[in-house]
Structure 1
């Protein structure tokens, strides 16, 4: 029976290959999710766009010799295989292809001449190639190539309808989301911090990454400021390196902060203890010397490394990116492309709406319209406000976060969320992401201070005592009247 599912393909090849192949592939009803010539973001981009097959060109990989190039390509294909994503490798090196064939990678295009068989490519996109077909593709005879008999074929789930795997335990896909606006000061940081807080409260191991090193707010607003564990120290050690070091020693949560507490900050302890232990941050702090920023270099491939490190090596369930407003900022474009969901923030003002309108087509082209959600922050009930925003931006308002009149006071009290209408908007964002709220906390009373928690517990205990007393009184009255129930 033919597979009726429409394949989703990522083209990871040089522009001239992409220009020739993309129209042919799309004409045959196959969805091209994205194109890239950057080898550092292929795995994350394939996952973010839900690609099932990656068409990969060996020409993208530069190495001093063929064996090193082969090693680099195999590492990438192995990472994609672990994510159940198939690879079709385009390569002119017959010996390399035979080596891959011996290791079970059977889907490839041998670029022996300047021509390729398009029907063969389309066939591999829909269905993995057989061993015999793979041998034939590189001209192997019965005695040639010494293909081992113990080849293990991994048939990825990507091209098979999900219903065949319903009996297996559903794996939770890590979330990578970003908050962005073309203008500063519209609430991007506020919303990203609050969303990360709520996701952590709901049980996800969450890391909030704040890329804006010029105007850092996260470490200050949460209280998780640390002189050693911060983004600027990681950047100082890695700016001039080709291979980056793990961010493990530069992230911080409430537990680490309490263990490594600095003497002059003991007064913050009650505030820090209110934060979910699942919430980690990687951010610049007030310790940063702004006059030494010329020694720090942000690079476009840093978001890919950090996200891979957090999810792949440290097991985080979610990464929330607070993205700088400048599109030309080195990490902005990469952060947005690596996100499975991008929340575009507006405060409703005309200049901001106009800036979003001007950048909308570029963002939709690079990311895909389905990955963008417009959030109206500081929403105030006013007839026609939402329709005006939608008319100017050309986007539907997906979420509204109400104006919090107590935000100034709350920020000085280190309360990330307290206004219930504001909280409702943040919860709607998490609900839309599919993050289930399984906590047993009272739905209407989180985000308050430690004193308020104790106060509520005392009130709750008092209510239970009064309820018991009323029951005893009722029993006594029923006994006196001779009434039984």
Structure 2
């Protein structure tokens, strides 16, 4: 049984003469009502004011059919479209040249597609004389969602989330890093993981255009990137990324002067859908703007929310005001993370924030150089602090001897730096009073 929807009545009937168990649809809207495992459709059915709109609609439908496990045979008069769609992994594309439809080739593709559909519909069973029982508790894995935020950009949230995600993935945890910021995206440039179809803006656009996409089709990891891209300049850097590391982030083609707006419902759907994919950890880089559609929703959906504060007194005062407001309005509680704070000022900031820091990150002078090399791993001291934190939380294991030696060295160095340069601005603002 197939559905025919080419938008050309004569062609519809020609196909129906050969494939008699078929249904003919006359409008694009009817594609939402498909009940057959295969659809034959064409460019001429699609609505749009221009070719650019039609092209986007075609891509959306192809994604929809793939998600619904409907085999698609699509007739298209533009070879460049077919080239781009095949590059993105779509199949069943039939070219129309000078309004000439290759009927024989079309029918062969339809027949092959029907045979493939029948094979996939037949259950593949494996028989064994000694089946192994799997306990229910062994198959259920909770997805931990951690949200990281700062009251102003530039306090180190992106570096922290990226470093945490990398260390978790290295430790064997299937980890997803989500970056909501489309004005100043960091992920595509830090890791080199960028794709114009597997990206945040494409996901948001498809969800809000009425298509019912699968979020796993928009995630990117090194395996997918290496199989779909040939850029030798960054290939070695991509190969070094952990196997368990995935991202949902803006592409490197997004325009900062055209920020992406997304509905609150889309943010909720995103966070709910990723929980169904078996991730151990989802790390979310939350925009600093409190009014951003992703900010409040992410805090509400997260298992733990972290606020990052640096050593500037004015930043600490601003953060305290924002944290008090958010915690009161949303009924949540932030964990405090100190970044680039001299040891002598830790107590002052903790007192002003009325929170004890769960993580104190040292200043890493190597970050700039590492970013130019597409090396997402932080320096030794920075990484040691993260390892200690994740180890204490039960997510990672490191040799005890190595952990203590590196930890004491990092603390000593930070203390010396604090003695040389006290933070007078915090005292001036009476933040510690």
Query: TM-score range with shorter-chain normalisation?
Result: 0.5 to 0.7
Aligned length in residues = 268
Match of 1:270 among 236, 244, 247: 236
Aligned to 2:352: 392
Supply the distance in 1 between the matched residues of 2:325 and 2:388 (Cα, whole angstroms).
27
Aligned to 2:336: 374
* Equivalent pair of 2:144/2:281 in contact (CA under 8 Å): yes
* Equivalent pair of 1:210/1:323 in contact (CA under 8 Å): yes
Supply the distance in 2 between the matched residues of 1:210 and 1:436 (Cα, whole angstroms).
23
The structure-2 alpha-carbon separation of the partners of 1:214 and 1:304, relative to structure 1 and needing over 3 Å to count, comes to same
Q: Post-superposition shift, 1:168?
A: 6.1
Aligned to 1:180: 149
Aligned to 2:200: 231
Supply the distance in 2 between the matched residues of 1:418 and 1:298 (Cα, whole angstroms).
32
Deviations 1:331-375 (A, max 9, x none): 100001111111110112111111121123233335556x52111
Aligned to 2:229: 261
Aligned to 1:197: 166
* Equivalent pair of 2:153/2:288 in contact (CA under 8 Å): yes
Instruction: Show the 5 A alignment for 1:288-303.
Output: 288-293=254-259, 296-303=260-267
Supply the distance in 1 between the matched residues of 2:300 and 2:209 (Cα, whole angstroms).
24
TM-score by length of 2: 0.57
* Equivalent pair of 1:217/1:285 in contact (CA under 8 Å): no
Q: Post-superposition shift, 1:170?
A: 9.2
* Equivalent pair of 1:346/1:377 in contact (CA under 8 Å): yes
Q: Post-superposition shift, 1:443?
A: 7.7
Aligned to 2:294: 331
Instruction: Show the 5 A alignment for 1:51-130.
Output: none
The structure-2 alpha-carbon separation of the partners of 1:236 and 1:169, relative to structure 1 and needing over 3 Å to count, comes to closer
Gaps of 5+ in 2: 1-134, 405-433
* Equivalent pair of 1:399/1:428 in contact (CA under 8 Å): no
TM-score by length of 1: 0.52
Q: Post-superposition shift, 1:236?
A: 2.2
Q: Post-superposition shift, 1:252?
A: 0.5
Deviations 1:365-407 (A, max 9, x none): 35556x5211111244x42x10121122222122111100111
State the secondary structure of the residue aligned to 2:177: strand
State the secondary structure of the residue aligned to 1:173: coil
State the secondary structure of the residue aligned to 2:325: helix
State the secondary structure of the residue aligned to 1:331: helix
Match of 1:250 among 208, 218, 221: 218
Aligned to 1:211: 180
* Equivalent pair of 2:143/2:279 in contact (CA under 8 Å): yes
* Equivalent pair of 1:401/1:424 in contact (CA under 8 Å): no
The structure-2 alpha-carbon separation of the partners of 1:169 and 1:258, relative to structure 1 and needing over 3 Å to count, comes to closer
The structure-2 alpha-carbon separation of the partners of 1:354 and 1:292, relative to structure 1 and needing over 3 Å to count, comes to closer
Q: Post-superposition shift, 1:171?
A: 4.9
State the secondary structure of the residue aligned to 1:400: strand
Give the RMSD, CA atoms, in angstroms. 2.6
Supply the distance in 2 between the matched residues of 1:362 and 1:331 (Cα, whole angstroms).
17
Aligned to 1:435: 395
Answering whether residue 326 of structure 2 is matched by residue 363 of structure 1, we say yes
The structure-2 alpha-carbon separation of the partners of 1:432 and 1:298, relative to structure 1 and needing over 3 Å to count, comes to farther
Q: Post-superposition shift, 1:200?
A: 0.9
Supply the distance in 1 between the matched residues of 2:179 and 2:209 (Cα, whole angstroms).
21
* Equivalent pair of 1:202/1:438 in contact (CA under 8 Å): no
Gaps of 5+ in 1: 1-165, 445-485
Q: Post-superposition shift, 1:247?
A: 1.7
Supply the distance in 2 between the matched residues of 1:226 and 1:338 (Cα, whole angstroms).
27
The structure-2 alpha-carbon separation of the partners of 1:239 and 1:400, relative to structure 1 and needing over 3 Å to count, comes to same
Q: Post-superposition shift, 1:237?
A: 2.0
Supply the distance in 1 between the matched residues of 2:201 and 2:142 (Cα, whole angstroms).
29
Aligned to 1:23: none
The structure-2 alpha-carbon separation of the partners of 1:434 and 1:302, relative to structure 1 and needing over 3 Å to count, comes to farther
State the secondary structure of the residue aligned to 1:179: strand
